[in-house]
Structure 1
């Protein structure tokens, strides 16, 4: 998996419930209809070794949101990764212990999506842990536990270009607007908008894959 090495800036903004803005710039959207949270999936579990936080395609950098404490970071198969739409999603699953190799996946597990696995088939999860083998699992997406305080990570941004990643919500953000203009999703789990100038606080709207909407005032330090 390709590493990400840029330094992040994490900001916390106060959340306010609000409807979506009336105007929006068009962006490429791959809608998840219906959201995959009611579905049970099955596939193979494999291992690709322990990796530093932020090295996966989802670029979920340290410090990690507390809701991921004790969870296994996983790479999601390419089809369900859906160009980063499910980055940060939480998973509950169970391994049967059946398969082949030296380190069976057996019993319940909790995980979160931090990367994509291009060679994996639909339903497969690749664990960012040391181990060996290919093991039968079943699993489903669940809303993440915790306070759902949404923070923002900026990368390579300036007053005319924002590359922003929402994090800490209970489900992945599907769409994001800045001052009413819709930002374009990148494959590494950011939203990009050019224009501005973005001077001081900007109004950021988000909509999650579970149709939860939020408005926040966000400034890049």
Structure 2
């Protein structure tokens, strides 16, 4: 269930209680229905961390840019676009704060829609900003935006291949056969446990996108 315009944790808790009552009356598994909370105004952003932790049903935190812009009195009619009079990205803080709350809670962070549905290149440009931060995806309003979204939120082929290579290499080097080493060289690059965690993110996104690797790890001879 997507809950729009969430402003406080209490609103999520109210929905949790309502869903629990419905599940109990209908004989459904209690807690099975998830909740996606959409942050669309200043109060919601101020309380986003409390909202993220308000219920175990929370699965996703979503940014709603249009209502948010109205809430902040932003002088623009183009949803999510940069303002040439502002020397930076006015949405960076908003996106990062939502992402921080989502990751602290261990749930998805999803960017909101881009309303100029015929301008796919502009959609792609806006999507790249949240993808670079680590967002899991973005709403689409038209079938023409789907391919662009899949392209932007999936890793590049070379990055996916390298991530899989890091995972295989690190797994081998930390094994008995590989010498139980925690930090090793992969070409000119040192890899360690932190490298493995970073590679897991990229590899996971690639696998979710159905990507196929083009190179395999070969253990060093001898």
Higher relative contact order (CA 8 A, sep 6+): 1
Fold similarity call, TM over 0.5 = no
Interval of TM-score (by shorter of Structure 1 and Structure 2): under 0.3
- TM-score, normalization by structure 2: 0.25
Q: Which has the larger radius of gyration?
A: 2
Name whichever structure is richer in helix by fraction: 2
